[in-house]
A and B are shown apart, each in its own frame.
Chain A
Amino acid sequence: MKYILAKSVEEALIGLYQAGGTGAIMGGGTDLTIDLESGKHKADTLVDVTGVPELKEIRLEGDTLVIGAAATLTEITHNPLVKKHCPSLTLGTGCVGSLQIRNSATLAGNVMSAQPAADGAMALAPYDPEFVICSLGGERRCKMGEMYAGFARSAIDPSKEMVKEIRIPILKENEAGSYIRLELRKSLSLPMLNVAAVARVVDGKVEWARITMGPVGVGPVHAVDAEAYLVGKELTAEVMTEAGKLAMNNAKPRSNPLRGSKEYREATLPILVRRALESIADQLGIKY
């Protein structure tokens, strides 16, 4: 195998191009290493981008928080800009795997692995981020939903292109975000269920709300019925409970031998959605 320690995005893209479809971009590598050994993923050339300075950056561009694809989950979790502008994101990035995993793994990789309840990806989803994807042919931008091709399947082909950065609209006044995880244990375990939300509430009325949940489908799934229901409503106890119930319209949880039966997940998901909204209400000083 050929191993390229890229020093720039351009060098990485050239390496990938020269591999002619048999290469793969390697970020933290905490999933890819396992998939390469098991044969689930094949590559003759690995292009390691963890040493590319511009991909490590976390910066603010106007109202957008930009997170480089090679920033580790630990770096994101402790970054003051992320804590200030997208605090609920750090609740997700801070509980992926274990500290050792977070010291290597990246948020871009958490999305690329496409696990439906990935903590980092879930906490990110309701911020409505954009992904900058690049290849030698140029750059394009993808929305969160366009990143997923199926269960544990990314729509981005790592042998042809790479994620360069994640662009996240920061929270403004009257906006708040939350992340809730139903867990068996804190470390080294995907959650039984997780829910993330971001909402804008002006003069007591919800202007918009985005709620995502997993594992109930492909990638983070929007609770679109609940989102539509919330518009124009006040965040009262009844409204938040009802939104939790409506979230079930878009959720198809399955039974998992380790992380809860379908029935258990169906019974608990509405409560998690309610709690995610309650957290937003609390942060915005709304009494319910």
Chain B
Amino acid sequence: MLLCTTINGEYMEVEVNPDLRLVDFLRDQLGLTGTKIGCRRGECGACTVIFNGKAVTSCLIPVMRAHGAVIETIEGLMGENEKLHPLQEEFINRGAIQCGFCTPGMIMSAKALLDENPDPSVDEVREALGGNICRCTGYKKIQEAVLGAAERIRKGE
């Protein structure tokens, strides 16, 4: 089937197998392997992307639902001249990354939150990241990184 969609700002028309899930299309057909697969059951958050402004687990989205949608993946975060997004920088600076497998999903969940609410409370951060599981960091530094990035974004960075 013909899929017309916008991914990381780029409009595309591509033939896809409608049996695919969005995560497989992103990774295997577009080579956007920053989006990870941990469980394929919606239980780990590693595959989180932003779909029409909302964080979703792309392992549970049939690819054709992306028709007409606007999707952001971790690959779309970097600014001009390879400048990292404040969320990416804060994750690095504050040691919120260990093995890094959960990180793209964490950052996309956090970005969806900050896009809607640049001044979240700790509870709001925790709610937004509740669907992202990390087996390494213990979450505290992730929470701090998101709050730190929020502050920088509010200052206009």
A residues sitting closer than 8 Å to B (CB atoms) are 1-3, 5, 26, 29-30, 33-34, 37, 46, 48, 50-51, 74, 97-101, 103-104, 186-188
Contacts and interface: CB of A to CB of B under 8 A. Distances in A.
A142 to B, nearest CB: 27
B131 A33 contact: no
Contact of A98 (B18, B65, B130): B130
A93 to B, nearest CB: 13
Given A37-B40, A97-B42, A100-B45, A187 B60 contact: no
Contacts of A50: 65
Q: How large is the interface on B (under 10, 10 to 19, 20 to 34, 35 or more residues)?
A: 20 to 34
A97 B21 CA distance: 19
B61 A104 contact: yes
Contacts, number: 77
A100 B65 contact: no
Given A1-B19, A3-B18, A30-B42, A103 B55 contact: yes
B18 A1 contact: yes
Contacts of B42: 30, 34, 97-98, 100-101
B64 interface: yes
Nearest to B59: A33
B128 A99 contact: yes
B1 interface: yes
Given A5-B64, A33-B21, A99-B128, 8 more contacts: A46-B18, A98-B130, A99-B131, A100-B48, A103-B54, A104-B56, A186-B130, A188-B43
Task: Please provide the 9 A-B residue pairs with the shortest distance between their CB atoms, ordered closest to farther.
Answer: A98-B131, A187-B130, A3-B18, A103-B54, A3-B64, A100-B57, A100-B131, A33-B60, A1-B19
A104 B60 contact: yes
Contacts of B131: 97-101, 187-188
Contacts of B127: 99
A33 B133 CA distance: 21
Interface of B: 1, 18-19, 21, 40-43, 45, 48, 51, 54-57, 59-62, 64-65, 67-68, 109, 127-128, 130-133
Contacts of A100: 42, 45, 48, 55-57, 109, 131
B90 to A, nearest CB: 20
A29 B1 contact: no
Contacts of A3: 1, 18, 62, 64
Nearest to B19: A1
B130 A188 contact: yes
Contacts of A30: 42, 57, 60
Nearest to A28: B60
21 contacts: A3-B1, A3-B62, A5-B64, A29-B60, A29-B65, A30-B57, A33-B21, A33-B62, A34-B41, A46-B62, A48-B62, A74-B54, A97-B42, A98-B57, A99-B128, A99-B131, A101-B42, A103-B51, A104-B60, A104-B61, A188-B131
A97 to B, nearest CB: 7
A48 B64 contact: yes
B61 A26 contact: no
A44 to B, nearest CB: 11
A78 to B, nearest CB: 11
